[in-house]
Amino acid sequence: MKLTFGRIVTLVVVLGGAAAAVYALRPRPVEVETGVVERAPMRVMVEEDGVTRIRERYIVSAPLAGRLARVSLDPGDEVIAGQTVLATIQPTDPALLDARAQAEAEARVRAAQAAVDRAGAAVDRAVAGVDFAEKDLKRLVEASERLAATPRELETAAFNVTIARQDLRSAEYAREIARFELELAQSALTQARGGGENAAFVIPAPVSGRVLRVMQQSAAVVSAGAPIIEIGDPADLEAVVDVLSVDAVGIRPGDAVVIERWGGGAALRGAVRLVEPAAFTKVSALGVDEQRVNVVIDFLDEPEARIGLGDGFRIEAGIVVWRDDAALVVPDSALFRRGTAWAVFVIQQDHAVLRTVQVGRRNGVQAQVLGGLVEGDRVIVYPGDRVQDGTRVVVRAGRG
Per-residue pLDDT tens over the stretch 375-400? 999 999 999 888 999 899 998 865 55
120 and 265 assigned to the same domain: no
Range of the domain at 150: 94-197
Instruction: Tell me whether residue 15 is in a domain.
Output: no
Q: What is the CATH number of the domain that holds 270?
A: 2.40.30.170
Greater confidence (2 vs 180) lies with 180
Instruction: Tell me whether residue 4 is in a domain.
Output: no
Q: Per residue in 307-366, pLDDT tens?
A: 889 889 999 999 999 999 899 999 999 999 999 999 999 999 999 999 999 999 999 999
Q: What is the CATH number of the domain that holds 64?
A: 2.40.50.100
Question: What's the distance, Cα to Cα, between the start and end of the chain in Å?
Answer: 56
The domain total for the chain is: 4
Instruction: Tell me whether residue 17 is in a domain.
Output: no
82 and 118 assigned to the same domain: no
300 and 376 assigned to the same domain: no
Q: Per residue in 271-323, pLDDT tens?
A: 999 999 999 999 988 889 999 999 999 998 888 899 889 889 999 999 999 99
How many C-alpha atoms does 338 have within 13 Å on its Cβ side?
Answer: 14
Instruction: Tell me whether residue 24 is in a domain.
Output: no
Taking a C-beta distance cutoff of 8 angstroms, is the pair 86, 229 a contact?
yes
250 and 277 assigned to the same domain: yes
Instruction: Tell me whether residue 229 is in a domain.
Output: yes
| Burial class of residue 33 (count of CB atoms within 10 Å of its CB; 0-12, 13-18, 19+) | middle
66 and 210 assigned to the same domain: yes
Average pLDDT (73-86) is 90
Instruction: Tell me whether residue 98 is in a domain.
Output: yes
Instruction: Tell me whether residue 83 is in a domain.
Output: yes
Q: How far apart are CA 49 and CA 55, in angstroms?
A: 18
H-helix segments, the chain: 5-25, 99-145, 151-193, 245-248
128 and 109 assigned to the same domain: yes
Phi and psi torsions of 174, nearest 5°:
-65, -35
Taking a C-beta distance cutoff of 8 angstroms, is the pair 298, 163 a contact?
yes
What are the Cα distances from residue 16, in Å, to 4, 96, 365? 18, 121, 49
122 and 80 assigned to the same domain: no
